[in-house]
A and B are shown apart, each in its own frame.
Chain A
Amino acid sequence: MNTQTLKIPQIQDSLLKALRPEAPEDIQNPILRRALERVESRRNQNVHAGHTTKHTSHSTHSKGW
């Protein structure tokens, strides 16, 4: 397992987002893995071309969930 893959600032609480995983499968908690995968997949979306960016809070039907 590559221990250099993921780097997280230990002190700056607000900078968890500095995490840029190249191997989300190394994260053992499936919830965190899903979140990391979502970060990546949304980064690749072209929102203007039609990928919905936000869902109403008062509906849980949504694809992608």
Chain B
Amino acid sequence: MDEAHSHKSAGWWLPPGVALTQPTIPFHTFILKVASRCNLDCDYCYIYRSPDVSWRTRPHFMEIDIGRLVAQRISEHVAKHSLEEIDVVFHGGEPLLAGASRIDALASLVREIVPVKVSFGLQTNGTLIDEEILKVLLKHEVRIGLSLDGPGKANDRHRLNHAGKSSYEAVLKAIELIRSNPEWLHLYGGLLAVIDLRNDPVELYRFYSELNARSVDLLLPDFNHDRRPWRKQPGYTPEIAYGQWLARFFDVWFSEGSLMEIKFFEEVLTLMLGGRSGLESIGLTPVDLVIVESDGDIEPVDTLKTSSRAATNLGLNIRSHSFDDALQHPAIRSRLMGSAVLCETCQKCPELEVCGGGYIPHRFREANGFLNPSIYCEDLQYLLGVMRNRVKENLATTPAVTLIP
């Protein structure tokens, strides 16, 4: 590790006077950037439209020899920490640009070298899905997440290809193809959408319901204190516009008791009811995932690319460093330390245990790194208030529940 770099960046991750503690848990999720380019050119992309332009010098695809090293490093980590199962996610860029045979080979290597149960996932824009790739994904039981921001116009506000053409029809065809074969259907993991205030949340809910999505996640756009989100939209109060948008989606989803799981809401409810979060963007549960870039660089979560290259460049590579080396870096270790690494405002907030300071890239400011509330702090406070009230109202009318006066 580059000690100078580590020392310099530590101030971004830790409040003054707070020392790094030893990691309490190892990594369980390994996200492999099998392709470092994309066939779409989404204008909000947290990789190709971000201040971190390291992708320009990375190989387009993860070579097999790098994949083998990654598998060996995972195996080493699994053995050292006596892990019983792990997740491996094929990610990009657009991971399907790597091609069916490369993904087949990489998944086979992981299966062959890692001696515990491996659950595979893949996050794709869907435009390159065909029967050949679906056969490979079925072979390795790779669950598929698709990015789709909504019906035609909603999706095409941002998700266009390099020629400025829509990606919408291609994604719908991919979903139809997956659903056309009962053997493939269980691979259809869910949909991922970035919120745009111009899209009607109720219309979006109906759209996803009609697609029979098992789960959907709604993402706040990856802005921060230096690059702020646009908030002026008729019908919304600017300071809490994203909170209001999410609350409107929540209200229709919750009142209908939908079987479609909205990850962010489900996790907030789990936290409110005393559970642990399973999503890195909410709650204080340690974040136990790590990225491996196509050239073998080991990095913290990729959305940090929206802040600065200094936030993602750990000076570690799979050729010469283990995943345990990565566990020692402030950028990784601080995310295993819960509320101790949050700013004073967050530490005093009554929503701390549920919110957990919000998603880490949304806290960034060049001057003091991640020691700030989320740029969506007021939105989250508003949303959590609405959600808690709806839960209380619902439980108050449940016969099995006694409310303590």
Interface residues of A (CB under 8 A from B): 1-10, 13-14, 16-20, 23, 26-32, 34-36, 38-40, 42-43, 47-65
Contact across chains for B286 and A54 when beta carbons are under 8 A apart: yes
Given contact pairs A39-B274, A65-B263, A59 touches B89 in the complex (Cβ within 8 A): yes
B116 on the interface (CB 8 Å rule)?
yes
Q: Flag B77-109 by CB within 8 Å of A: 1 or 0 each.
A: 000011111110101000000000000000000
- Cα-based distance from A2 to B46 in the complex (angstroms): 50
> What would 19 more interface pairs be, CB under 8 Å, given A31-B266, A38-B278?
A3-B400, A6-B395, A8-B401, A10-B403, A13-B385, A30-B258, A32-B269, A34-B261, A47-B28, A54-B277, A54-B288, A56-B29, A56-B280, A57-B281, A59-B89, A59-B192, A60-B215, A61-B121, A65-B215
Contact across chains for A61 and B28 when beta carbons are under 8 A apart: no
How extensive is the interface on chain B, given as a class? 35 or more
User: A63 contacts which chain B residues (CB < 8 A)?
Assistant: 87, 119, 121, 143
Interface residues of B (CB under 8 A from A): 25-26, 28-29, 31, 46, 81-87, 89, 91, 116, 119, 121-123, 142-146, 189-192, 214-217, 219, 253-254, 257-259, 261, 263, 265-266, 269-281, 285-289, 301-303, 350-351, 353, 359, 385, 388, 391-392, 394-396, 398-405
Contact across chains for B400 and A6 when beta carbons are under 8 A apart: yes
Given contact pairs A53-B278, A58-B302, A60-B191, A8 touches B143 in the complex (Cβ within 8 A): no
User: A43 contacts which chain B residues (CB < 8 A)?
Assistant: 275-276
**How far is the CB of A29 from the nearest CB of chain B, in Å?**
5
* From A2, A48, A59, residue with most partner B Cβ within 10 Å: A59
Q: Which residue of A lies closest to B86 (CB)?
A: A50
Contact across chains for A54 and B215 when beta carbons are under 8 A apart: no
- Cα-based distance from A47 to B23 in the complex (angstroms): 13
- Cα-based distance from A56 to B87 in the complex (angstroms): 11
Given contact pairs A42-B270, A58-B192, A29 touches B289 in the complex (Cβ within 8 A): no
